[in-house]
Structure 1
Amino acid sequence: MKKWIIILSGLLLAQLVLAVAVNLMSEDYNAFEPQESLLAFDVKAVEGLQIEDGQNSLVLKQQDDQWRLPESGDFPADQDAVERLLDELAGLERGWPVATTPEAAKRFKVDKNAFERKLTLLGKDESEVVLYVGTSPGFRKVHVRPAGEEAVYAVVFNTWEANAKASDWIDKDILKLDANQVIRLEMPDFVLERDGEVLKVADLGAEEETKEEEARALVDKLADLRIQSLLDSEVESEYQQAEPELEIKLVRESGDPLIYRFFKSEEEAYYLLKRSDWEPYFKVAAFVLEPIKEIGRENLVQAKTEETPKETAESNASAEAGMVTPEVKE
């Protein structure tokens, strides 16, 4: 009997020790809940951002309240994309570290000499905040390590949102226009001119009329033209003396006329565009330009439609209502 009392007492003591240990671990875990920001910086104070991937390096800088690419002739960057990245970085939260050794940093590719991405935030006072982004442990998660710390964390982030190529950051809508401001469009086979609210083909025959929906669709395609990337400056000289595949002149209500000169590149996937108001040459997807290039006068003009009897009767009635009967003198 005494033997059983000793055994049960031992089991009770073991349970008490286990309960205390679990309680301590639980409190310690709660202390590391992801409630603290991983990076300490003010989004509004960031004036520069450098992204490195081991092979490429990209710099974004804020100039006159606009993000630009200094290494691409200060070309405008996609403002929303830059601000979205900064907001995501500011929102990263510090949770339980998954490792705390230099060996682990190399294994998870967040070491200063081996990383997937190195993000450097530049402040107004030349201060820097550096984050190393490494391997992915799962969907929309990556390993990261703030510079100056040994701890490695797993956070919610997409590595592709921090690519180190200029083509991923340029403002691809930079050439967009307000189609309602277009008053004239000149193409090799025809000219469109604004007549009130619509655009019509110039020099129509007596029995011809404009397909107004098609004319509007053409202007919309040009007004919404989206670029893919910038052409390398070293290659531009090859096209400066070349004859364009297509040249278009667009006149707006205000501002200088715009001349679009499209060149066929060696690669079939895109055309090159030089617009008169921009220095660089742009790459434009072939599937975007081909539908514009193929439009001729025959696509925008049709024979006049005959008036229906009802339309003729209404027209005659309107004419009669407007006639004045002369007064008969006796």
Structure 2
Amino acid sequence: MNKAIKVLAGLLVAQLLVILALQTNKPGTTQVAAQPLISVNLNTVDTLRIDDSDGGQVTLRKEGDRWQITNYGNQPADQNKVAELLQKLSDIEVRWPVASSAAAAERFEVAEGSAQKTLTFQTGDRVIDSLFMGTSPSYRRIHVRANGSDDIYQVELAQHDIPANPESWMDKTVLEFEGDILSVNAGDIAVSRDTNGDETSWKLAGSATDSTDPTLINTWVKRFNSLVVSALVPAQEVEPIIVQNPALTAHLSSDKGDADYAFYTANEKYYVKRFGSSALYEIASYQAKPIVEIEAKKFMLNTSDAEPPQ
């Protein structure tokens, strides 16, 4: 009996597979091909505007081949971050919508005017497309709807990939000093080296060569090559900070030119600017303190103070 049941079950499965195959290959059966989520050519887009439901807003505009943040003092944007977003959007393909109704658009928070986030694409002043982003059904997946369509899709994207605050898009390395540093004059510190590029050739003015550790000097100097700022200080807040004497001024020379920096402290925070620019930036204390709180004795050999700036 059990053997007969197994045989009958096998025949039933075989019949179902045949029926499924016939239905799949029946003339007129629709096969949905993948299609791009974004219908416009993103290579023609020169302005991206991001708005969120909390009132956050950022506008990125391409000037030449560089993206800038127009509502953030025209600060340079992180070029890689913008490129990664555009590439990610270009690569997204969709097939079946999860819903296609106005009620669903409200439920998934992708309706125009009530979306969690709206990404607008422009060429010049002309809006060419918009994308509405809403709820997240799972990690790194959100519901999206393109302008002019009722179809709502679930795609691999995260809200934090498209932040609506300018600071998140700013190039934080904007004050990095470029080039192979040859000398630094900062407060009472003056260090220089030979032009052969040898990191052991650093000299501290006023001290014997054999009493200083060039590696410690090099560690301090290299901090100017890796400055990372936190945020742009609003224009109306700049003067009260820079009107006071700077905590440190520094003149740097390299194989690519010279530059002057000023570091300030106010309200237990650190700030930095580069002469020749009106922009003032907030900088994290862990970045600023090792530069500002420098003393000649920290470069000396055979002392308890001969340590790299922390």
- Same fold, TM-score > 0.5, yes or no: yes
Query: Aligned partners of 1:279 and 1:83: how far apart in 2?
Result: 28
Query: Aligned partners of 2:223 and 2:119: how far apart in 1?
Result: 37
Map 1:172-191 onto structure 2 (within 5 A). 172-180=172-180, 182-191=181-190
Query: Aligned partners of 2:28 and 2:285: how far apart in 1?
Result: 59
Per-residue deviation, residues 278-313 of structure 1 (Å, max 9, x unmatched)? 22101111111122223210111236xxxxxxxxxx
- Unmatched 5+ stretches in structure 2: 1-11, 303-310
Query: Aligned partners of 1:128 and 1:253: how far apart in 2?
Result: 45
Question: Bigger shift: 131-140 or 115-124?
Answer: 115-124
Richer in helix (by share): 1
Residues 254, 157 of structure 1: CA spacing in aligned structure 2 closer, same or farther, 3 A cutoff?
A: closer
Q: Give the aligned CA root-mean-square deviation in angstroms.
A: 2.8
Which position in structure 1 is the counterpart of 2:163? 163
Which position in structure 2 is the counterpart of 1:204? 207
Query: Aligned partners of 2:162 and 2:283: how far apart in 1?
Result: 23
Which position in structure 2 is the counterpart of 1:44? 43
Which position in structure 2 is the counterpart of 1:236? 238
Residues 112, 211 of structure 1: CA spacing in aligned structure 2 closer, same or farther, 3 A cutoff?
A: same
Which position in structure 2 is the counterpart of 1:260? 261
Residues 56, 27 of structure 1: CA spacing in aligned structure 2 closer, same or farther, 3 A cutoff?
A: farther
Q: Which amino acid aligns with 1:97?
A: P
8 A contact 2:186–2:250 mirrored in 1: yes
Residues 220, 137 of structure 1: CA spacing in aligned structure 2 closer, same or farther, 3 A cutoff?
A: same
Q: Which amino acid aligns with 1:111?
A: A
Map 1:93-172 onto structure 2 (within 5 A). 93-123=93-123, 126-172=126-172
Query: Aligned partners of 1:53 and 1:125: how far apart in 2?
Result: 20
8 A contact 2:179–2:256 mirrored in 1: no
Deviation at 1:79, TM superposition (A): 0.8
Deviation at 1:22, TM superposition (A): 9.5
8 A contact 2:67–2:77 mirrored in 1: yes
Residues 53, 183 of structure 1: CA spacing in aligned structure 2 closer, same or farther, 3 A cutoff?
A: same
Query: Aligned partners of 2:105 and 2:184: how far apart in 1?
Result: 59
Per-residue deviation, residues 74-126 of structure 1 (Å, max 9, x unmatched)? 22111111111111111111121111111110111101011111001113693
8 A contact 1:201–1:301 mirrored in 2: no
Deviation at 1:140, TM superposition (A): 1.0
Is residue 272 from structure 1 mapped to residue 271 from structure 2 by the alignment? yes
Deviation at 1:27, TM superposition (A): 10
Which position in structure 2 is the counterpart of 1:251? 253
Query: Aligned partners of 2:29 and 2:288: how far apart in 1?
Result: 58
Q: Which amino acid aligns with 2:166?
A: A
Deviation at 1:151, TM superposition (A): 1.1
Query: Aligned partners of 1:277 and 1:26: how far apart in 2?
Result: 73
SS in 1 for 2:49: strand
Task: Return the index of the structure with the highest Cα Rg.
Answer: 1
8 A contact 2:179–2:255 mirrored in 1: no
Per-residue deviation, residues 11-66 of structure 1 (Å, max 9, x unmatched)? x9xx87x9469945999997235x21111122221111000002111111111111
8 A contact 2:118–2:133 mirrored in 1: yes
Percent of aligned pairs with the same residue?
A: 27
SS in 2 for 1:41: coil
Query: Aligned partners of 2:256 and 2:214: how far apart in 1?
Result: 23
Question: Bigger shift: 52-61 or 208-217?
Answer: 208-217
SS in 2 for 1:260: strand
Residues 29, 115 of structure 1: CA spacing in aligned structure 2 closer, same or farther, 3 A cutoff?
A: farther
Superposition TM-score, scaled by structure 2 size: 0.83
Which position in structure 2 is the counterpart of 1:309? none
SS in 1 for 2:46: strand
Deviation at 1:173, TM superposition (A): 1.2
SS in 2 for 1:31: coil
Map 1:286-325 onto structure 2 (within 5 A). 286-302=285-301
